[in-house]
């Protein structure tokens, strides 16, 4: 016999969004592992829950705290994992312990509950038929742009998390890579007092969001590539290779500091062509220059 680890989502703002089941689990387990114990203690105090053991499980102690969780489960104690907000495992440290439990054959139960990106997607009005969630983009501009470049032709709705102090730099890069003609939605402070939504063409991102609005927690959503709103899962559409475009894109990435091989790989991936096609395009361009 072993204990069970319950993965317990918590509110992303409004405390009433905790579920009855989450409360019952948090009241009855022997231990609670939390991303930030001070943060979780406030939640527990609000609901008058006093756990026997509350300890941290965060990105810098996943090994030691993970071993502690495993040891307690093996001692037949059941516990709960919570993160600062929302569903553990979504852009926070929850994922590591799930892998460990699967590998060690230990039982866990995931409770359903709030997650910021699901709420943002549904309320955005953008297509929910197909969407991709990317969490936080790389912080470094060069890598962020290179990553965005790979998403330029994706037909589905694209979702990102972003910290407020990086939002403007991120949106400037999104605009530079995706161009003017996409619908942008920014969802701010969901379920909180100052919940607000900003919607409009990507070209207007700077006026949609006044500097004073760039506070709090944000989900950024972007309409997918319109011309490719074709059935996802079907083979990539037959691509007419536009060599000049491939060369221009590789050149632009290299000017931004991406190394040539990586730029060729990223452009091939984003354009639905092979690396060889990109290589050929570069050779042809060199020949016609020479």
By CB under 6 A, which span of 52-60, 86-94, 233-241, 244-252 interacts with ligand SAM?
Answer: 86-94
The nearest distance, CB 276 to ligand SAM, in angstroms, is 39
Applying CB under 6 A, the span of 83-91, 101-109, 236-244, 272-280 interacting with ligand SAM comes to: 83-91
Which of the ranges 53-61, 89-97, 235-243, 268-276 carries the binding residues for ligand SAM, by CB under 6 A? Answer: 89-97
Angle, helix 141-149 to helix 260-271, in steps of 10 degrees: 30
Residue of 7, 32, 44, 85 that binds ligand SAM (CB under 6 A): 85
Binding to ligand SAM (CB under 6 A): which residues in 209-238? 217-219
**Minimum CB separation from ligand SAM for residue 190, in Å?**
3
For residue 214, the surrounding DSSP H or E stretch is: none
Task: Work out how close the CB of 138 gets to ligand SAM at its nearest, in angstroms, rounded to a whole number.
Answer: 15
Q: Give the total of residues touching ligand SAM (CB under 6 A).
A: 23
DSSP 210-250: -GGG--S-EEEEEPPPGGG-S-TTSPPPPPPP-HHHHHHHH
Which segment (56-64, 156-164, 173-181, 241-249) binds ligand SAM by CB under 6 A? 156-164
The Cα 55–Cα 81 span in angstroms is: 10
- Residue 164 CB, shortest distance to ligand SAM, in Å, is 8
* 3-class state of residue 126 by DSSP: coil
| Interface pick for ligand SAM out of 5, 7, 8, 12 (rule CB under 6 A) | 12
Helix, strand or coil, per DSSP, at residue 48: coil
Torsion of Cα atoms, 206 then 211 then 214 then 220, to 10°: 0
> What does the CA dihedral 161, 164, 168, 171 come to, rounded to 10 degrees?
10
Identify the residue among 26, 31, 77, 92 touching ligand SAM (CB under 6 A).
92
Which residues lie closer than 8 Å to 163 by C-beta, 6 or more apart?
136, 218
Q: Is 187 in the site for ligand SAM (CB under 6 A)?
A: yes
Structure token digits, residue 97: 């312990």
CA 224 to chain centroid: 16
Site of interaction with ligand SAM (CB under 6 A): 12-13, 83, 85-87, 90-92, 115-117, 161-163, 187, 189-192, 217-219
């Amino acid at each position: 016999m072993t204990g069970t680890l319950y993965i317990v989502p918590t509110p992303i703002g409004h405390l009433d969004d905790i579920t009855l089941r989450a409360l019952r689990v948090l009241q009855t387990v022997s231990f609670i592992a939390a991303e930030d114990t001070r943060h979780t203690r406030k939640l527990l105090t609000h609901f008058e829950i006093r756990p026997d053991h509350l300890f941290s499980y965060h990105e810098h102690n996943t090994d030691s705290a993970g071993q502690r969780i495993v040891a307690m489960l093996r001692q037949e104690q059941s516990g709960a994992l919570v993160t600062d907000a929302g569903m553990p495992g979504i852009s926070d440290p929850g994922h590591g312990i799930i892998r460990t439990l699967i590998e060690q054959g230990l039982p866990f139960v995931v409770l359903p509950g709030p997650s910021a990106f699901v709420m943002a997607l549904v309320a955005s009005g953008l297509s929910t038929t197909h969407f991709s969630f990317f969490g936080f983009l790389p912080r470094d501009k060069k890598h962020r742009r290179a990553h965005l470049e790979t998403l330029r032709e994706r037909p589905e709705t694209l979702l990102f998390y972003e910290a407020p102090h990086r939002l403007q730099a991120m949106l400037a890069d999104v605009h530079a890579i995706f161009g003017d003609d996409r619908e942008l939605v920014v969802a701010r402070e969901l379920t909180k007092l100052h919940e607000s939504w900003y919607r409009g063409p990507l070209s207007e991102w700077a006026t949609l969001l006044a500097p004073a609005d760039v506070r709090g927690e944000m989900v950024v959503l972007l309409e997918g590539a319109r011309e490719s709103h074709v059935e996802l899962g079907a083979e990539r559409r037959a691509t007419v290779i536009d060599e000049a475009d491939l060369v221009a894109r590789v050149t632009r990435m290299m000017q931004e500091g991406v190394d040539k091989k990586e730029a060729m790989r990223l452009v091939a991936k984003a354009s639905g062509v092979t690396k060889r096609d990109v290589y050929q395009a570069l050779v042809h361009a060199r020949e016609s220059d020479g």
